[in-house]
Homo-oligomer: A and B are copies of this chain.
């Protein structure tokens, strides 16, 4: 493609609305343009990237044996009423009335539609398992759409749904999708991690997330560099210390700590490290019970894991300052479990503490040398309440955890029979008995991948696309293309030869200053670049530079096609 026949539209500055680097760079590079809140046009350059991602997703889904179809975006309410999600899904679902005042939605996902198709089309175990997928436009009416295509309202998703005779077949299909997803993100040239995940609102059991690693990622991931273990930090288990609790060696003492509220303040004031100080939190459950939660001062509460503890109590919330004072006769900065009249739940890390510090339930005072069993009863329950931190033992016993950040781009679920039961998707088994199908679902945020790839791959000059998803593989900057016949001939010939060799070349044939052309080609993230100029051509050379290379190198024009092919793809 020649730049003069394409449509490049780069910006010096990103619009103020953009916060995230990928959003800024996608706007500056002209990959996308905003139409409205959470609505983006994929401009010609961006669409090339999106299509490359789509192709790799499609190829690996096909390879896995999944079969592509295309369901409507607009879905009738009746199916969602059958699954009880018409109300449950909440305001993210964009509801629509047609001209006859019938209810529809712009599909946020397709479990109901595919289950409806399958219950009509599939009657026998002989037709199972089957996995249908589509690459299609979805809409979720986010309350605050932001970050460009990272969290848009209208977006492109690959969604797949598998149906099985039993759990074993579902697990088998699930593994195939796990492998297909791993191939997809590997082929895209992205650093990623597969993590055990909470199943969230979709329901069912067994779920993994695929995260593109990037410092700006919304999710924290705990992983073990010495094993396969990886989990969203929301789920990662903090295992109990192997070392037993030490015997008490100090006496209980009440010390004035005027104006010291936070762990940091108390630690600095008493010159006692945070891991020897208790963090005491008062919570109230949905059914109006109060608890004190104890954590080590250097640890933080994991609300997802804690919430599961209180599932039967309809969840929990933090007590207000007023509630705390009413019950404990002290402010939140002076709480402690000694003498407390409400049940105490301790984190596993706390259960191993001795001679520790805690609030005295009196403003301005703390207790030191506190010990369970002697100064207060053992907690009513010891549980995993905290977020893991780097250095914690891996739950699989194979090393120590590290923490990184990621952007969720894929999610696989074993749904089980949630939807097949609700919609009565049954089949006749070998014995002629009617049985409910088992079901899995598998999503990839196709448009989000483009943003995630940029969060992982950029520098101060712009985007650095991995080769498999780059809009063009090679840029050719022809300096003086409009003025020098020599440059023009050499550029046109090399462009033609490279194109014929299957290289996707963007030839910058504009009448622009070299600096402008270089800046544009770097900004839009083309991973390889050739520069042709009169001076180099006199000595029979062109200049090659990889997007991450510090320096350019000379490449003889004679045989340049072969050199470039081996630079791009290896020899």
Contacts and interface: CB of A to CB of B under 8 A. Distances in A.
Interface in A52-90: 65, 67-76
A75 B143 contact: no
A72 B143 CA distance: 18
Interface in A466-501: none
A216 interface: no
Interface in A108-153: 113, 116-117, 120-121, 130, 132, 137, 139, 141, 143, 153
Given A96-B106, A137-B137, A143-B99, A35 B113 contact: yes
Contacts of A47: 68-70
Interface in A1-28: 5-7, 9
B99 A96 contact: no
Given A5-B65, A35-B75, A36-B104, 17 more contacts: A33-B117, A33-B120, A35-B71, A36-B74, A39-B75, A39-B76, A40-B72, A41-B117, A42-B69, A43-B69, A44-B69, A44-B132, A47-B70, A73-B154, A74-B106, A91-B99, A94-B98
B35 A73 contact: no
B65 A41 contact: no
Given A35-B72, A39-B76, A141-B98, A9 B44 contact: no
B44 A67 contact: yes
Given A96-B96, A96-B106, A153 B70 contact: no
A74 B154 contact: yes
B50 A70 contact: yes
A454 B437 CA distance: 36
A6 B130 CA distance: 9
Contacts of A91: 99
A268 to B, nearest CB: 47
A517 to B, nearest CB: 16
Contact of A6 (B40, B67, B116): B67
Contacts of A116: 35
Interface of A: 5-7, 9, 33, 35-36, 39-44, 47, 50, 65, 67-76, 91, 94, 96, 98-99, 104, 106, 113, 116-117, 120-121, 130, 132, 137, 139, 141, 143, 153-154
B113 A41 contact: yes
A427 to B, nearest CB: 14
19 contacts: A7-B132, A33-B120, A35-B76, A35-B113, A41-B72, A41-B113, A42-B70, A42-B71, A44-B132, A47-B70, A73-B106, A73-B154, A74-B153, A74-B154, A94-B98, A94-B99, A96-B106, A99-B141, A137-B137
Nearest to A7: B67
A206 to B, nearest CB: 25
B121 A9 contact: yes
Contacts of A43: 69
B137 A73 contact: yes
A153 B44 CA distance: 27
A433 to B, nearest CB: 22
Contacts of A106: 73-74, 96, 106
A13 B153 CA distance: 41
6 closest residue pairs by CB, A with B: A42-B70, A36-B76, A39-B72, A91-B99, A44-B67, A41-B71
Contact of A96 (B72, B94, B117, B120): B94
A67 B1 CA distance: 11
Contacts of A7: 67, 121, 130, 132
Query: Could you say which of A44, A68, A72, A132 has the most chain B C-beta atoms within 10 Å of its C-beta?
Result: A72
A67 to B, nearest CB: 5
A500 to B, nearest CB: 17
